[in-house]
């Protein structure tokens, strides 16, 4: 909420340093409690996906990568349960469809990156994704769009490399030694 907010701007919002510290601490405690109380069997819904994604992002930024991966994997499975990985071409016209499209690609990039980082299998098989990829600059103009496009391409590469490094089949291959 206050990420990147400079202390000089606190007064513009009617806050003191101590207020911001208290609010950030409260948010962190609430997020940590939510992670611990997360219901695995929640009905798939866009709100569930958003909540789990937010918790996963919080854990990732807090340095709890294994927990973040578990949450992002749950978000990925929710996206798949909801069919976000197979949205028809050109479906991004309505605000609701565009929201689902954004959620899917956000979850995709973070889940692939976290799976690669912690050495686990991704929950989103690339061969099963038919949802149209974001196009730069059409979908996201400017520097943020270019940055996101690069992050998405990295996630796709991680998805290709990950099975070659961490799969059961890869562990059976002989090591090449010169």
DSSP string of the chain?
--TT--GGGTGGGT--HHHHHHHHHHHHHHHHHHHHT--TTPPP-HHHHHHHHHHHHHHHHTT-HHHHHHHHHHHHHHHHHTTGGGPPTTGGGSHHHHHHHHHHHHHHHHHHHHHHHHT---SS-GGG--SPPP-TTTTS-HHHHHHHHHHHHHHHHHHHHHHHHHSHHHHHSPPP--
Domain hosting 73: range is: 40-161
Look at the chain and report how many structural domains it folds into.
1
Q: Judge whether 117 lies within some domain.
A: yes
Q: Judge whether 24 lies within some domain.
A: no
Q: Judge whether 101 lies within some domain.
A: yes
CB atoms within 10 A of CB 94: 9
Q: Judge whether 176 lies within some domain.
A: no
**Given pLDDT bands bounded at 50, 70 and 90, which one contains residue 175?**
confident
101, HSE (Cβ side, Cα atoms, 13 Å)? 20
Q: Judge whether 31 lies within some domain.
A: no
Q: Judge whether 100 lies within some domain.
A: yes
Q: Judge whether 152 lies within some domain.
A: yes
Tens digits of per-residue pLDDT, 84-140? 999 987 766 788 888 999 999 999 999 999 999 998 989 999 999 999 888 877 778
Q: Average pLDDT for residues 143-152, to the nearest whole number?
A: 90
The predicted structure's pLDDT at residue 172: 85
Q: Judge whether 96 lies within some domain.
A: yes
Specify the higher pLDDT residue, 7 or 77.
77
Q: Average pLDDT for residues 61-82, to the nearest whole number?
A: 94
Q: Which tokens is 130 given? A: 């038919």
């Amino acid at each position: 909420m206050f990420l990147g907010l400079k202390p000089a701007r606190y007064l513009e919002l009617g806050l003191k340093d101590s207020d911001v510290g208290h609010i950030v601490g409260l948010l962190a405690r609430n997020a940590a409690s939510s992670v611990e109380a997360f219901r695995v069997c929640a009905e798939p819904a866009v709100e569930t996906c958003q909540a789990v994604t937010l918790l996963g992002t919080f854990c990732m930024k807090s340095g709890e990568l294994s927990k973040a991966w578990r949450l992002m994997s749950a978000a990925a499975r929710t996206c798949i349960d909801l069919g976000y990985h197979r949205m028809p071409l050109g479906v991004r016209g309505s605000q609701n469809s565009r929201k689902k499209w954004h959620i899917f690609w956000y979850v995709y990039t973070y889940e692939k990156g976290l799976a690669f980082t912690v050495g686990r299998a991704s929950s989103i098989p690339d061969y099963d994704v038919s949802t149209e990829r974001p196009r730069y600059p059409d979908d996201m103009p400017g520097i943020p769009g270019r940055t996101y496009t690069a992050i998405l391409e990295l996630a796709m590469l991680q998805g290709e490399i990950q099975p070659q490094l961490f799969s059961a089949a890869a562990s059976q291959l002989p090591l090449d030694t010169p």
